[in-house]
Amino acid sequence: MKRILLVCLTAVLAFASSELWAQERTVSGRVTSAEDGSGLPGVNVVVKGTTNGTVTDVNGNYTLQAPTTGGVLVFTFIGLKSQELEIGSRSSIDTQMEQDVQQLTEVVVTSLGVAKEEKSLGYAVQQVNSDELLKARETNVINSLSGKIAGVNITSASGAVGASSRIVIRGANSFGNNQPLFVVDGVPISNGDFGSTDNEGTNRGNGAADLNPNDIESITVLKGPNAAALYGSRASNGVILVTTKSGKKGAGLGVQVNSNVTFENPLKLPDYQNGYGQGSGGQFEFVDGAGGGTNDGTDESWGPKLDAGLMIPQFNSPVVNGVRQATPWVSHPDNIKSFFNTGTTISNNVSITGGTDKAGVRLSYTDQRQKGMVPNTDQNKSTISLNGNIDLTDKFTINATANYVKTKSDNLPGYGYSAQNVMQQFIWFGRQVDMGALKNYQNTDGTKNSWNYNYHNNPYFTLNENLNTVDRNRIYGNARATYKFTDWLSAFVRTGTDYYTYTNTGRRAVGDLDVPNGYYAEETFTFSEINTDFLLSFNKALTDDVQLSLNVGGNRMNQNSHKITGVAGELAIPGVYTLSNSKIPLTTTSEYKKKRINSMYFSGQVGFLGSLFLDFTGRNDWSSTLPDGNNSYFYPSVSLSAVLTDLFDIQSDFLSFAKVRTSWAKVGSDTDPYQLIGSVSIGGGWNDATKLPSLFVPDNIPNSELKPQFTKSTEFGVDLRLLQDRIRLDMTYYDAKTTDQIISVPVSSSSGYTSKNINAGEISNKGIEVSLGGTAVKSAGGFQWDVTVNYAWNRNKVVELAPGVDSYVLGTYWSLQVAAIPGERFGSLFGYGFQRDPDGNIIHVNGIPQRDATAKVLGSYTPDWTGGLMNEVSYKGVSLSALVDVKWGGDLYSMTTTWGRYAGVLDETLLGRENGIVGKGVIANGDGSYRTNDVVVSAEQYNKAAFVNTLAESSIFDASYVKLREVRLGYTIPNSIFQNLPFRDLNISFVGRNLALLYSKVPHIDPETAFSNSNVQGIEFGQLPSARSLGFNVSFKLQ
């Protein structure tokens, strides 16, 4: 490492000494786009016939040394027409550059925030600009990427306000974290869950949801280790690079306003039967809802026939002289649908930009207010963003960004199989229950009003009394100082922070079925991460044909977190929710975590003839979470790209551009803090008399010899542009393997422990990514139709685990496990299926299907492929765009089907209600042969045997889906209409998001579901419905 740094520095100093002898003058200026006047970064500016040159910065500014007299400046940039301008006696030269349709038009932001021409890259990246992100006005920017980038798999948890989203790039490659690193303006930020859990509780969202789409200029996805190696151990799963909008030098004062309102409704609800009401065996009569009447304590719908003229006492029947009167036994087909409100999201953004010839600044404020579809749920968010830059001298520039996000919710809904999740109750909800009669959840005598007192709270009681609040404050940003020693040598120093603190509370009212004496919990969490880095950059044309760039830098990352929780297990005074109002001793915990990574890195690129590019990188991390001797790990990468059309001077009207590329990379990854040495946790007192704390030794054996896990990846690709850039085709093949995984394996109970962390296991991912786009129609009259198709095929495999370990369990729910099993895809669904004969027929006994005695792999949540189809048609200010999102393959276990059929509430359970069911399958004859099953059983018997939590196979479904993800219809009013008024670029649009489920084999629910960011996926436990969103957006500029 030291030798490499020495070579780089020696080369830099050698060139510096040769330049000092020349007699030159300084020429500076700004390069802007002829299309919109914005500054162009990455433009090559060279004094013709010399090696003196530079590239423009992020705002399009440049400075270089030129001869004292005469000279010509040459401006070149891929996708733009080259220019040659005579210097003359000028010291300041500004210019505008126009698009060249015969060249590739993209510039992308790469590792460390360096902008590069796409043609020079030897690895796959994709970029989405702000217009694409804002089309459907999605509040969580992660969801805005769905279907738009090949190889990126995004899953939204639900349609609840504040819900998290999960993002995985090129398949899971780790038994631990598989989330990519988020980097904003060159500095990492956290995308961790804000207190969400895997299977039940409250989903409070994830860190990237704090990114404000109105403030984002572009998002670039570095898809694998090959592109992301310079970001270190946290980048093994890829990197999401976010570039925010900034003030433009020389732009003058400008104001932009954006306002939108959307309305949310459930996309899909279960299909309920409306033929039979609550009860069992066809009988029901309500007395006290707890078993005092005929089956009135049951929460199933195997009761009397509805809408048949029956009169039966019910929970909302009038009581006369202490006797509950019989009322009409009728169905309420829309009782669940009527429970949900029309949610609203109102967002207003105002941004002000200003600039002089030396400085630029942008100030933005966004106010977002959401009312959820679930009654009495909300989330409000305010965001302030400040981004500025100033040239203190011709050589010294300062850039700074600061963002503040305030998030507050008075109540978020519960989720998972929990009494706090209303959808869990609705899988058992009596089909005769009048939802309107439950809105007054407390009777006049003070007792609770409910349809069932054995198993369920009144849903309105849950949402109005058992509240889950959020109060979160977050600050993130950075400051960077850049100094240009010469036109080819510069350096910057930067420090950035991501700091947030939140207080989550959960309260349960006295009278709750689970905690009848009430409950109050409070969690305060503080997180901070500070990154300080430097980079020395050398960029110079060595000859007319050879360009060399070198970067040497370092980083220190400090991460700290502190969590304090307090629980009042019983309330002394009902309705008073404070920790001091605890009837019993408080349960408290306090947890600290600290982590540091020190890093040094280098990168370089050698360009030949502007068409052949060799890139190389290296980074060494020293992690505090790994032991001495194993805490230092180096990972390199190398890539090569060749622009064939330039290299061989191909002039063709058909083939505009052709590039081949290949790359190889190795990236390391560490583990969580405090895995190396033994520790103890502090619990409650041994007894009420002493109150002395107790100490507990964890069940996991620490391992002081842990090593980093490594991912090695090889990539090949081809980029083509045809018919003068009318058609664009990018194809990539990748092969990645992650070894020495850090996993916990079981140990003998005689050791006093249950598990130990070791290095073991391997996961492989192989895949193909295709992005095909172009202009299908373009007329002289202004009509244009653009089409883009993204496709990504991935083959994921758990190659091996530790010796003697058959599976690595990621999570267990009832009798179903989500596991990593050798030879299978990651995320196997492992559980019990039906007992079958040699021909695969289900075996029945007395008409009842039998469960197999041995659990088996029933599927995997990993999809076969993902894709997206984008269409946009525009004509004279009118534009119409649509996005279809596809996820194909993978499997899903649905609890809604399991308990919905067991309870008799789903429409499939109408089958056989009158005449019984003969299950499809066979009966054993006793001599090893089988005959067709011909035994009739009741529908209730059959469904309760075939659909139960100990038998998973009956509720495993193909998770494939096709969605109409986005639609936008907009019109930009011509500026000529406003004449002398200050309004400009006024656009009015209709927007829609998650509009239709075009294809799915999963009954009753939207197959797009996620618990959190963790690896425990592929299980639906009473999912809150996803939201269909429709609304309007208005934007304009004031000048």
Of 954, 987, 1003, the domain-final residue: 954
Asked whether residue 117 is assigned to any structural domain, the reply reads no
How far apart, in whole angstroms, are the C-alpha atoms of residue 928 and residue 735?
48
Of 954, 985, 1002, the domain-final residue: 954
- Do 949 and 981 lie in one domain? The reply is no
In the predicted structure, residue 177 carries a pLDDT above the cut 90: no
In the predicted structure, residue 889 carries a pLDDT above the cut 50: yes
pLDDT for 829: 97
Whether 956 contacts 941, CB under 8 Å:
no
pLDDT for 989: 96
Mean pLDDT of 972-979: 87
CA dihedral 405, 406, 409, 413 (to 10 degrees): 20
Identify which has the larger pLDDT, 15 or 144: 144
Asked whether residue 285 is assigned to any structural domain, the reply reads no
The 10s digit of each residue's pLDDT in 838-870 is 999 999 999 999 999 999 999 999 999 999 999
- Do 973 and 934 lie in one domain? The reply is no
How far apart, in whole angstroms, are the C-alpha atoms of residue 414 and residue 428?
17
Asked whether residue 126 is assigned to any structural domain, the reply reads no
The 10s digit of each residue's pLDDT in 80-120 is 788 889 998 888 999 998 876 444 446 676 767 677 777 88
Mean pLDDT of 236-259: 88
Residue type, position 14, single letter: A
- Do 503 and 623 lie in one domain? The reply is yes
HSE-CB for 727 with a 13 A CA cutoff: 9
- Do 43 and 188 lie in one domain? The reply is no
Structure tokens at 766: 């192989």
Residue 673 has φ and ψ, to the nearest 5°, of -65, 155
User: Which CATH number do you get for residue 788?
Assistant: 2.40.170.20
When pLDDT is cut at 50, 70 and 90, the band that residue 215 belongs to is very high
How far apart, in whole angstroms, are the C-alpha atoms of residue 560 and residue 530?
9
CA distances from 141 to 128, 137, 144, 230, 345 (A): 11, 9, 5, 25, 15
From 767, 611, 811, select the one nearest 103 (Cα to Cα). 611
Per DSSP (E only), the strands in 542-572 are: 546-568
How far apart, in whole angstroms, are the C-alpha atoms of residue 1 and residue 497?
28
| Stated pTM of the model | 0.87
The 10s digit of each residue's pLDDT in 399-430 is 999 999 999 999 999 888 888 899 999 999 99
Return the axis-axis angle of helices 939-946 and 895-902, rounded to nearest 10°.
150
Asked whether residue 335 is assigned to any structural domain, the reply reads no
- Do 20 and 158 lie in one domain? The reply is no
**Tokens 């789409």, residue located:** 213
pLDDT for 696: 65
Asked whether residue 470 is assigned to any structural domain, the reply reads yes
Of 954, 974, 1000, the domain-final residue: 954
In the predicted structure, residue 689 carries a pLDDT above the cut 80: no
- Do 942 and 994 lie in one domain? The reply is no
Bridge partners for 188 per DSSP? 183
When pLDDT is cut at 50, 70 and 90, the band that residue 389 belongs to is very high
Q: What percentage of the chain carries pLDDT values higher than 70?
A: 92
In the predicted structure, residue 683 carries a pLDDT above the cut 70: no
HSE-CB for 702 with a 13 A CA cutoff: 15
From 129, 126, 159, 122, select the one nearest 144 (Cα to Cα). 129
User: Which CATH number do you get for residue 54?
Assistant: 2.60.40.1120
Beta carbons within 8 Å of 334's beta carbon, 6+ residues apart: none
Bridge partners for 497 per DSSP? 477, 530
Residue type, position 475, single letter: I
Asked whether residue 400 is assigned to any structural domain, the reply reads yes
Asked whether residue 436 is assigned to any structural domain, the reply reads no
The whole domain housing 21 covers 2-100
The 10s digit of each residue's pLDDT in 576-609 is 999 999 999 999 998 889 999 999 999 999 999 9
In the predicted structure, residue 900 carries a pLDDT above the cut 80: yes
Beta carbons within 8 Å of 498's beta carbon, 6+ residues apart: 187, 188, 189, 190, 474, 475, 476, 527, 528, 529
Beta carbons within 8 Å of 608's beta carbon, 6+ residues apart: 545, 546, 547
- Do 923 and 869 lie in one domain? The reply is no
Which of 62-66, 164-168, 364-368, 978-982 has the lowest average pLDDT?
978-982
The 10s digit of each residue's pLDDT in 736-758 is 999 988 888 887 777 777 788 88
**Tokens 């990993």, residue located:** 862
Asked whether residue 683 is assigned to any structural domain, the reply reads no
Mean pLDDT of 759-780: 93
User: Reduced to 3 states, what is the DSSP secondary structure of residue 368?
Assistant: strand
pLDDT for 163: 86
In the predicted structure, residue 524 carries a pLDDT above the cut 60: yes
- Do 30 and 179 lie in one domain? The reply is no
- Do 42 and 173 lie in one domain? The reply is no
The total number of structural domains in the chain stands at 3
HSE-CB for 875 with a 13 A CA cutoff: 9
What are 51-57's contacts with CB under 8 Å, separation 24+? 51/540, 51/541, 51/542, 51/543, 51/544, 52/24, 52/487, 52/488, 52/541, 53/487, 53/488, 53/539, 53/540, 53/541, 54/487, 54/488, 54/539, 55/539, 56/30, 56/31, 57/397, 57/482
With helix as H, strand as E and coil as C, how does 173-225 read?
CCCCCCCCEEEECCEEECCCECCCCCCEEECCCEHHHHCCHHHEEEEEEECCH
How far apart, in whole angstroms, are the C-alpha atoms of residue 25 and residue 178?
52
The 10s digit of each residue's pLDDT in 321-331 is 989 999 999 99
pLDDT for 131: 86
pLDDT for 122: 82
Beta carbons within 8 Å of 613's beta carbon, 6+ residues apart: 119, 120, 121, 122, 605, 606, 607, 640, 641, 642
- Do 597 and 527 lie in one domain? The reply is yes
In the predicted structure, residue 504 carries a pLDDT above the cut 50: yes
- Do 811 and 933 lie in one domain? The reply is no
Whether 951 contacts 938, CB under 8 Å:
no
Mean pLDDT rounded to a whole number for the chain = 89
- Do 844 and 822 lie in one domain? The reply is no
Mean pLDDT of 568-572: 95
In the predicted structure, residue 980 carries a pLDDT above the cut 90: no
The 10s digit of each residue's pLDDT in 275-306 is 999 999 999 999 998 999 999 999 999 999 99
How far apart, in whole angstroms, are the C-alpha atoms of residue 228 and residue 221?
9
Task: Count Cβ atoms within 10 A of the Cβ of residue 23 and give its class: 0-12 exposed, 13-18 middle, 19 or more buried.
Answer: exposed
